[in-house]
Amino acid sequence: MYSFKELSKLFAEHFAAKHFPEKPETLYEPGNYFLSLGGKRIRPVMCLMGNELFDEINPDAYQVGTAIELFHNFTLVHDDIMDDASLRRGKPTVHAKYGSTVALLTGDVMLIRSYDYLNSIKTEYLHKVLSLFNKTAREVCEGQQIDMDFEKQENVSLADYIEMISLKTSVLLAASLEMGAILGGASEYNCKHLYEFGKNLGIAFQIQDDYLDAFGDPEKFGKDVGGDIKHNKKTFLMLYALQAASDVQKAELKQLMQDNSADKVEKVLAIFKACNVDAWANQLKEKYYQTALNHLESIAVVSVRKKPLLELAAFLIQRDY
């Protein structure tokens, strides 16, 4: 069996192929540009891991992984238009570099291309993989829409936020694992537990991401700390704080979210700490992480096969930051 790192290397070699025709260059060059910006290719590697949990890697898993990665990049290209984002991985977005009409079509053709890769797998798996892929693709769009709706909504419950995050990010991780499992011949029972493992791990990862944005060590985190607070993003932390805070603190938080004073991050963090938001977030993350591990535990294969996934989970949910 391969480690996550080894599979990443194998997938990267496979994914280095050309994904688009030469012409018209005005349509396909932007797509090649965006794919060249890189990324960790976590989802396709999870597809390979989901396969290898049950059997030797089926060559079709590389095709499905490619489809998943193209789908993921399609969502990024379109999200960048919606968010009017100018940078992605430190480089101009397609939207910023080529304009929004080109970015729109680039995303469309990337999504269509992902279905070509799906259509290249053995017919016996096609229907099942396509069902899960389509359902997941729809859910990711729903998550994106709900996220945009939340921006305009004053009160968002924690449960609704978790549902949104789950749709927007976790279901694709979960489905990547399950599509691999399908190609590995896994039973329905095992597929479902693997899906839940991925979904809960994804939620735990997102809680951690929100946590690190507020409380992370800037040097280790590698991003500007407090970005979510500066942009008034509704995160796990902010939603909990708005619930747990006293009336005075609540009023202060709402006031802080309305202006952009220089000490905004500092003041919001002080309220977060006073409300024990940090401890609460760690507990919530731990809860989803443990749920994920329980689902992995339930999968009926010898435990040695689960090792790479356990390592991946521990790597994603770092406890020493």
Residue corresponding to tokens 């339930």: 298
For position 88 contacting a copy of itself by CB under 8 A, the verdict is no
290 binding a copy of itself? (CB under 8 A): no
Count of residues that bind a copy of itself according to CB under 8 A = 35
Spell out, one character per residue from 21 to 60, where the chain touches a copy of itself: x when CB under 8 A holds, - when not: --xx-xx---------------------------------
Reduce the DSSP state of residue 296 to 3 states and report it. helix
How far apart are CB 163 and a copy of itself at their closest, in Å?
Answer: 10
CB of 194 to a copy of itself, least distance (A): 22
Whole-number Å distance between alpha carbons of 302 and 185: 15
| Minimum CB–partner distance for residue 17 and a copy of itself (Å) | 17
In whole angstroms, how close is the CB of 95 to a copy of itself at the nearest point? 11
By CB atoms closer than 10 A (0-12, 13-18, 19+), residue 101 is exposed
User: Do 203 and 241 meet the contact criterion of CB atoms below 8 Å apart?
Assistant: no
Closest to a copy of itself by CB, 159 vs 262, is 159
CB of 231 to a copy of itself, least distance (A): 17
Cα 46 to Cα 65: distance, rounded to the nearest angstrom: 8
Q: CA geometry: angle at 185 spanning 183 and 187, to 5°?
A: 125
Tell me which residues in 95-114 interact with a copy of itself (CB under 8 A). 101-102, 104-105, 107-109, 111-113
Euclidean distance between CA atoms 265 and 263, whole angstroms:
6
**What CA–CA distance (Å, rounded) separates 165 from 235?**
10
Token duo for residue 102: 């080109």
Burial 161-185 (b: 16+ CB within 10 A, else e): bbebbbbbbbbbbbbbbbbbbbbbe
Binding region for a copy of itself (CB under 8 A) out of 145-153, 205-213, 297-305, 309-317: 145-153
Q: Which residue has the tokens 């747990």?
A: 244
Tokens linked to 161: 């936020």
- Residues between 147 and 176 that touch a copy of itself (CB under 8 A): 148-149
Closest approach of Cβ 175 to a copy of itself, in Å? 13
Q: Which of 57/111 has CB closer to a copy of itself?
A: 111
The binding site for a copy of itself (CB under 8 A) comprises 23-24, 26-27, 78, 81-82, 101-102, 104-105, 107-109, 111-113, 115-116, 119, 123, 126-127, 130-131, 134, 137-138, 141-142, 144-146, 148-149
